Every structure is written in structure tokens, then in C-alpha cells.
Structure 1
Amino acid sequence: MALLVLGLAIFIAMHSIRAVAAPWREAQIERFGMPAWRGFFALFSLLGLFFIVRGYGLARRYPVPIWLPPSGMVHVTALLTAIAFVMIVAACIPGNHIKRALGQPFMCGVALWAFAHLLANGTLHAIVLFAALLVWALLKLRADRRRDREAGVVYAQGTLARDALVVVIGLIAWDLFAFWLHGMLIGVHPLG
């Protein structure tokens, strides 16, 4: 569990620098240059992610049950994660109504994904992982929205064609992950 917590701390800290220490971040970029900053960011983000994955895998060997989710919760989680995938894709494709409505659809998607996984997982290590990511995503979402307001950011009008593209790509990505990659990468086949 310690490795999981360390990984979460590193990953969340790296992804929170802009929100909590923007002047320091800018000073480092000015001092070392953007390529060096991106390398530093990528290295520590990947290190945190490696520790999260490794720590989670180790913790799964000796699970500590906290609560038993109802059997049907897997279907609720599947629906919510499908919506989360669509939100995450909306962040990457400009000119869609979802991005205009949510402002920060990526962080909204991460928050929904984490919440959905909390519904279907009752072990201590799962609760630590998904609760930490949920709290981080909600705090980062709040900070990003405040930054957008202060900067006067206005997102482009959406089109139905872009909305359709977002939904199709999001659902295909969700399908591939839910039915194939989740089992291959995580060792759990959530939908059988």
C-alpha cells in the first residue's frame, strides 16, 4: 500500500504544480527551458504512474475488504465510465458542445471515472486509489475553471458533427478498454 500512496503523491503533485505553484513552475521553465521542463514533468509523472500500478498490483494480492458493492453496480460503473470516456475525448476535439458546456471536460471525465470506480470497488487499496484521484480531479477542476474565468477563456461554439465525432470516438475507446485492455492491463474483466 505504501508504494501505491507514494505513486499517488508523486503523480498528483506533478499534475497539481500549475494549480498550486504556477510562479515556481514558470520560473523553472524560464530557467531550464520548456523541453527540459516537459522532460522533468514526464519523467516524474511516469515514475508516479509506475508506482501506482505496481503498488495497486501488490495491494490486490492481499485485499482488505471495506464494503461489498452490490452485484449490479458493475453496470452503473460501465455506464458512467462510458460517459467519462466521451468527456475525455471532448477535451481533445475542438468545437464540440460538451467542451463548451463543461469548460474542462478532461477533468470532469477523470472525476466521473474515479467516482464510478468507487461505486464498484470496496477494497481498501481501490478506495485509496479512486478516492484520491476523485478528490484531486475535483480540486484541479475547480482551479482550472478559476484560471479560465480569470483569463476570460471562452470555448468555441460546438457543431453537431463534432459532437457526433466525440461520442463515437469516446464510445469506441471505452469499448476497447472495457472489453479488452482493462483485462489485459489490469487483470480484471469488468464486463465478463
Structure 2
Amino acid sequence: MLILVAGLILFLGVHSMQLVPGLRTRLKAGLGERPYKLIYTTLSLLGLALLIYGKIITHPPVTIWSPPEWSRHVAFLVVPLSLILLVSAYAPGHIRRIVRHPMLAGVALWSGAHFLANGELSAMLLFGGFFIWSSITFVSACFRETPPPVVKGWGGDLTAIVLGALLALIIINVHMYLFGVAIIG
């Protein structure tokens, strides 16, 4: 469990630097652009590896509660929407303009849905940590930044919807193999 927590602290800590005004700018100025990116990427990947490994080795799981059946249905409906939001972060469109920070909103929906549908301590730490981080970062970013410019046309939105739906279909089919939990069945 300590490895999972260490991974969460490292991964989410590195991704929380924008919450401290001017920190990223000072680090880039002090280290240089390339060394900053190298350290940021290395720490992010190390944190991600630790949290994945930490989640894998937390067996047998400590069960805190038994989630109700409806929570799995909520996750089944919400996760595809979160994937559409994640893709829309890279596709300029109306979704990105309205949501402003669709990747953070998508992570909040994904992690919140998984938090509700899982009763294991390790899952609650993992998804709860991501939910709290993405919610705080989303609110902070909305106060800190101006909305993206108005986009003409619906190409970016259509791309986000189609690719998000395709990702959801792929995940439905591989979730059991990757995570040991069947989404359907």
C-alpha cells in the first residue's frame, strides 16, 4: 500500500505544480527548459509506475465496503463521457470551449465513477486521490485562465465524440484482461 501512496504523491505532486503561482516558471528558469521537461517526465513516469505497481501488489485487497450494483451502471455510463472529454482536450471545439479544461473534467468523472464502483482500500486511494486532485486542479485552472477562443464548425467535437466512443469500446473489450474486472458480464 505504501508503494501505491508514494506513486500517487509523486505523480499527482508533479502534476500539481501549476497550483503554486510562478513555481513552474521559476523551475524552468533555474533549470532550463530541456532539463525541466526531462525531470518532470522522469518523475511523472516513476510516479505512474509506482502507483500501477502499488495497485497490482495490494492483494489480497482490503475491502472497505460493498458498492451497490447501481454504481457499476453509473461507471458504465460516465466513463465513455470522460473519454470524450479527454480526447476533446486535444481537439479544438465547442466542448473544449464550454468545459475549458476537459482533460481535468474527464479525469474527475473517470475517477469519481471508479471510486463509487470500487470498495477496495487500494482502489479508493487510487481513484479518490485522482478525483480530489482533478477537482481541485479543475477549479484552480478555471479561475486562473481565460476560456479558449470561439471555434467555428463542429469537426473537433465530432472527432472527440467518435474517438472517445471508440476508446470506450476498446476498453470494454480489454478491461478484464488489463485490470481483472469485466465491465459486461
Q: Bin the TM-score by the shorter chain.
A: over 0.9
Bigger proportion of residues as helix: 1
Contact 1:93 1:162 in 2 (8 A): yes
What's the CA shift for 1:154? 3.5
Alignment of 1:160-179 (within 5 A): 160-179=154-173
Distance 2:142 2:37 in 1: 23
Alignment of 1:2-41 (within 5 A): 2-20=2-20, 22-41=21-40
Under a length normalisation based on structure 1, what TM-score does the superposition of the two structures give? 0.90
Instruction: Decide whether the 8 Å contact of 2:71 with 2:113 is kept in 1.
Output: no
- The Cα of 1:72 is off from its aligned counterpart by 4.1
Contact 1:64 1:125 (8 Å CA) reproduced = yes
- The number of equivalent residue pairs is 185
- Are 1:80 and 2:78 counterparts? yes
- Match of 1:178, SS state, is helix
1:7 to 1:158, Cα distance in 2 relative to 1, 3 A:
farther
Name the Cα RMSD after superposition. 1.5
Query: Within 5 A, what are the aligned runs for 1:21-170?
Result: 22-59=21-58, 61-94=59-92, 96-148=93-145, 152-157=146-151, 159-170=153-164
Structure 2 unaligned runs (5+)? none
Match of 1:92, SS?
coil
CA distance in 2 between partners of 1:13 and 1:158 (Å) = 37
Q: Is the CA contact 1:100–1:158 (under 8 Å) kept in the aligned structure 2? A: no
Where structure 1 has 5 or more consecutive residues not aligned to the other structure, the ranges are none
